[in-house]
Amino acid sequence: MQEVTVRELWTYPVKGCQGVATESLEISKMGIAGDREFVIWEEEKLVDQKDTPRVASIAAGLRREEGVLRLEHAEFGCYDHVIREEGDHRAAGWVLDKFETIDQGDTVADWLSTIIGRPVRLVSPSAPWKINFPIPQMERVHDTAKERFFAASPVSLANQASLDDLNEKLETPVGMDRFRMNVTVEGMDAYQEDHLDALSNDQVELLQVTPAERCVIITTDQKTGERPKNNLMKVLGETRRKPKEDRFGSGLIFGNYMTVGREGTLRVGDKLVVS
């Protein structure tokens, strides 16, 4: 029986903004508590690092017991936003998903717009909705409920040995933060995570969905929002590319999308059985 150890756990309160290291995650089938609960919105589209890398220069911390979202920026300081549970509802969509959001108000929108450089809003979900991802690779999550703005699945997972192997090929090594994972484990061979079916213990079970396909976001410095020159995308293209028939995006893979078989608490240092 092979076991891995949980090395790091992260949440990202605002999609695209900086992550928060944590000692434990409360994992449910609809998403991780405190993870991707808010998103920056512009007219009819989500604002993320792909087209707006400056989003990464904003730090976000969630103080749920106080009902406060703290936003920080090196140039513009701190802003404590009192979270709205009620407000103007905005219909929204992302890829094939359709959902309703709660607008978080003008003051936080103005603060974020100053940093982004154009008018944006901050929104949160008003109710759960269904994942609409009708392709074979996403069979385990298609038509399941979600209430977080995660990209493809409730949990993202990476293997430290895989990053170590990748960094040996890069002009400049990168940290795991480039990949914005929720869970990092150690104790597997490099890229063994691509082939597992599940990781589990008595508290939680994570089920493999598919290796995560990567875009230009991984070239973004997760503190400054800049994109320093690196051969990261080139190396993935040469060594970590899905066959054409299996792709739904770039085909460049690192890390894995996981869904939840058993809801529970996952902690740093926990052991998970590989199956």
pLDDT on residue 271: 98
pLDDT on residue 79: 97
Whether pLDDT at 23 is above 90: yes
Q: Count of CB atoms within 10 A of residue 259's CB?
A: 20
Going from the C-alpha of 187 to that of each of 1, 66, 114, 211, 232, the distances in angstroms are 12, 38, 44, 18, 24
Question: Which phi and psi angles does 64 have, rounded to 5°?
Answer: -60, -40
pLDDT on residue 13: 98
Tell me the mean pLDDT in the region 97-111: 95
Question: Among the listed ranges 83-92, 183-192, 200-209, which one has the minimum average pLDDT value?
Answer: 83-92
Euclidean distance between CA atoms 106 and 7, whole angstroms: 39
Q: Name the pLDDT band for 156 (thresholds 50, 70, 90).
A: very high
The 10s digit of each residue's pLDDT in 11-20 is 999 999 999 9
Query: CATH code for 3-274?
Result: 2.40.33.20
Percent of the chain clearing pLDDT 70 (strictly above): 100
Is residue 238 within 8 Å of residue 119, measured between CB atoms?
A: no
Euclidean distance between CA atoms 104 and 79, whole angstroms: 13
pLDDT on residue 249: 85
Name the residue among 152, 23, 160, 154 with its Cα closest to residue 94: 152
Token pair in block for residue 4 = 């891995």
CA 12 to the chain's CA centroid: 7
pTM of the model: 0.95
pLDDT on residue 245: 84
Whether pLDDT at 90 is above 90: no
Q: Name the pLDDT band for 5 (thresholds 50, 70, 90).
A: very high
pLDDT on residue 229: 93
The 10s digit of each residue's pLDDT in 198-253 is 999 999 999 999 999 999 999 999 999 999 999 999 999 999 999 888 888 899 99
Q: List the domain boundaries for the chain.
A: 3-274
